[in-house]
Homo-oligomer: A and B are copies of this chain.
Amino acid sequence: MRAAVLTALETVELQERPEPTAEPGWVVVKVESASLCGTDVHQYDGRIDTPFPRVPGHDFAGVVESVGEGVDEALVGQKVAVKPSLPCRECDQCGKGKPADCPRKKLIGLWSDGCLTEKVTVPSVNLIPRPEGVEAWQASLLEPLAVGLNTVDRLRILLGETVVVLGQGPIGLALTRLCALSGAGRLIVTDAREAPFEIARAYGATDCLDVSRVDDPKQAILDLTENGAGADIVIETSGFPASSAMCLDLVRKEGKLAHIGWANDLPPLPVVPIMAKTLTVLGIGGNGGRGQYERAQELVRTGRFDMEPLVTHRFGLDDVAEAFAVASAKTDGAIKVIVEP
């Protein structure tokens, strides 16, 4: 079968690989749709280290093709979404039946070969059945929603609170929509390009600020909050140092900051303002693993989260090199790039 293989920096080739078979407890999934995320792109451009050759990709959906020993045969033919992290199955938490809390969970596509291929094997516990009304391409985009749900679950927005979402990539856009659905009042979003703002507005943003076009982005955002006193809640999703550097200043006294944007070059947070303003800072490290994936899928199924605007580009597996080039350069206002083997 065909597989996309990262063979060197910025080099992805189509290679022939043997078809996989399922070990006990595992299943073979035929990949119908995979979405490229920041991790894939950073493996490609070198900001994340990965051994070469490596089949990248972890956000995907498809159909169960065969099952290993101990797995219900009835799963064959089941349409599924797939959780992308594999529990280690060796640690204490795994032993206690809490794989979601496994501290050594590994993302496929990064620590092992991933989903940018025709077929892939995963443990059966990673499967989430797809109901009628959720297409494979939608199910391959659930990760940003699940991360966003984990965020709003912890933030507990009170109806009418002012929320700032910094960055309008896929996770930022997901949070814009989820905060709008969760009761945000004024919903201010920022990005360094105009491209995502049309989607952001459709998702419920009340104010969109292109930080590349103002002299003082921090003051421009504060000016949009009540009396310039800062937002009740600030969510940093961009991972850009300049954005992270201003996030504490954007929160009002006794407000909350959720930090999701991840990069190695983020500036550290000064402690005194956190104390002086009595802030609560929440670190968001993933999708929480407590049902957020399933709930994200339900938001899509019921139409409350419309994924259509997020998908700006679609490619077949044969054009995977171009898919990576577009996703990396964010060509043509690219938000989400989908590969459909």
- Chain A interface (Cβ within 8 Å of chain B)? 92, 97, 101, 103, 125, 149, 152-153, 156, 158-160, 178, 181-183, 185-186, 227, 244, 253, 259-260, 262, 264, 266-286, 295, 298-299, 302, 304
Contacts and interface: CB of A to CB of B under 8 A. Distances in A.
Contacts of A282: 279-281
A277 B285 contact: yes
A14 B108 CA distance: 59
Of residues A101, A244, A281, which shows the largest number of chain B Cβ atoms within 10 Å of its Cβ? A281
B159 A181 contact: yes
Number of copies of this protein chain within its complex: 4
Given A183-B181, A280-B282, A269 B268 contact: yes
Nearest to A278: B285
Contacts of A152: 159, 183
6 contacts: A92-B227, A159-B299, A182-B182, A262-B275, A277-B283, A278-B283
Given A259-B274, A285-B278, A298-B185, A156 B156 contact: yes
A249 B185 CA distance: 34
B103 A253 contact: yes
Contacts of A244: 271
Contacts of A295: 159-160
**Top 8 nearest A-B pairs by Cβ distance?**
A274-B283, A268-B268, A281-B281, A275-B283, A182-B183, A278-B285, A279-B283, A266-B271
